[in-house]
Amino acid sequence: MIPQFLAALPPEARGEAERVFHPFAARRGSYLCYPEDEARTLYYVKEGWVRLFQLGAQEEEITLTVVGAGEIFGEAALLPEGRYGVFAEPLVDSELLSASREDLQRLMSRFPAAQTAFLILLSQRLRKAEERLRDLRFKEVLPRLAKALLAAMREGEEGYEITLSHQDLAHLAASTRETVTKVLGELALEETIELGYRRILVLRPEELRRVAG
């Protein structure tokens, strides 16, 4: 099994990448790494959501970002003797691929195309972080939440649905659960979404795209 961002590698490099990455299931509420841990493993999210956070001065949790399908975390494993610097917590039961620091170093030393693929993915990660900071500075909660709903929705039996909790959506939108619950209620009154038990049905995705800007 190989991460999607490495799928375009030449055949020999792709075969090596398939030997380097190993699948495993990460359970909601567990911790995949701690800030002080030596970064010996890089993770790729195949399906699901993983929250990266730190603790503030009062031991409050500060969400840095939420990584989803097609993204990596633990990139400090690409550096010698790096440490994770964050907590990593799956928001839902997630399917991941992992690779050790040693195997990654061999892969990239043998195949420059693999180095390029990692650089491109890390550049995209940086762009996402800059966009998140820009949204926090210039956008209200509603457009941030609309953007989070669009990112989280999946095709279901009755249309587009979201199975993340209000707290999970708050992490995605960089807000609080109370505020997200209030804004979701407003969107439901406007019939943009339908709130159900452990599920949100998106009735008008085009309206969410308009609001998200």
What pLDDT, in 10s, does the model give residues 56-108? 988 899 999 999 999 999 999 998 888 999 999 999 999 999 999 999 999 99
Q: What predicted TM-score, i.e. pTM, was given to this entire model?
A: 0.86
| Order of all β-strands in the sheet with 50-55 | 61-67, 50-55, 87-90
Is the domain of 112 the same as that of 156?
no
Q: Kindly tell me the burial class for residue 203, based on how many C-beta atoms sit within 10 Å of its own C-beta (0-12, 13-18, 19 or more).
A: middle
Is the domain of 168 the same as that of 100?
no
Is the domain of 132 the same as that of 149?
no
pLDDT at 11 over 90: yes
Match 């994770």 to its residue by tokens.
84
Range of the domain at 174: 140-212
pLDDT tier for residue 133 given thresholds of 50, 70 and 90? confident
How many whole angstroms separate alpha carbon 145 and alpha carbon 210?
12
Number of domains in the chain: 2
Domain boundary among 89, 111, 136: 136
pLDDT at 197 over 90: no
Q: Which CATH number do you get for residue 200?
A: 1.10.10.10
Domain boundary among 101, 136, 171: 136
What pLDDT, in 10s, does the model give residues 137-179? 778 999 999 999 999 999 988 899 999 999 999 999 999 999 9
If you average pLDDT over every residue of the chain, what do you get?
93
Is the domain of 151 the same as that of 79?
no
Residue 117 region, left (φ>0) first, then alpha (ψ -120 to 50), else beta? alpha
Q: Which CATH number do you get for residue 79?
A: 2.60.120.10
